Amino acid sequence: MSENHERLHKVLARAGFGSRRTMEEWIRVGRVSINGKIATIGESVTEADKIRVDGHVVQKDRLFQKKIRLIGYHKPVGEICTRNDPEGRRTVFESLPKLRSGRWVAVGRLDLNTSGLILFTTDGELANQLMHPSREIEREYAVRVMGDVDEAMIQRLKKGVELEDGFASFYRIEKAGEGEGRNHWYHVILREGRNREVRRLWESQGVQVSRLTRVRYGTIILPRNVRLGKIWDIDPVEAKSLADLAGIRNFKIESMDIPRKRSKRPSGKSVWKKSHRK
């Protein structure tokens, strides 16, 4: 058994309990113990230690796993991104493979009426870093809007507008084709993940989003050959490229052995529009 020491808050974050900052707060208020004693901020642990959260022992293979899993999911409209729903609606977690230990952590959310790419990992630290605003990791969306759109509006959306929760803007906007009537297709890129941000930005200009799909998260693209409601393994090379954006090093990807046809398109580039490269 390895005797390598790691900071307790980092180990708990990696296990998927929450961010490092949240774990430090849990430790500060006494929710975590090591070998029967209340933990303190800054303590280190090894695999030999027995760690409890809220009195419950946390299994060592969850805390000190040497490999992580990373999968993609093509979310349909109508599913919600919570583990349980009081209204009984289907959640994205119902479609994921069962784990013998640990749990799936979603990398960002999509609202009920948005489809597209969601990443899931067993590594809480990776998930938190991928979502952290300071990383400015790109999220690309295909969006159909209904209403009149002119160049002045596009420039306002790129320059930024004030929303109820602060200033927001699209990092990039590109027209992607005409729809029927007053419908127009665009591809937009954000570098953060606030709630319903794409929809709210367009609505601030008096136009409505009638269809929205996330097609890329960082370097991971939504393959065209993955149908709605299906999952796929993220290739280890693609996973490393994504982890580099999050500043995560020295890990191994453990495959879930999910079969799918291989895409002929290269990774790290938008498969939806060639100009959307990092």
**∠ at Cα 235 (187, 122), nearest 5°?**
95
Burial of 57 (0-12, 13-18, 19+ CB in 10 A): exposed
Distance CA 99, CA 59 (A): 13
Spot the catalytic one: 54, 61, 85, 111. Answer: 111
- Who contacts 130 (Cβ-Cβ below 8 Å, separation ≥6)? 107, 108, 119, 137, 217, 218, 242, 245, 246
Tokens 């803007």 sit on residue = 169
Active site residue 49: no
- DSSP annotation of 132 reads -
The distance of Cα 163 from the centroid of its chain, to the nearest Å, equals 23
- Who contacts 149 (Cβ-Cβ below 8 Å, separation ≥6)? 184, 186, 205, 207
Which tokens hold the place of 128? 């938190």
Tell me the residue type at 132. Answer: H
Q: What length is written for the chain? A: 278
- Who contacts 118 (Cβ-Cβ below 8 Å, separation ≥6)? 72, 73, 75, 81, 92, 106, 107, 108, 109, 110, 214
Residues belonging to the active site: 111
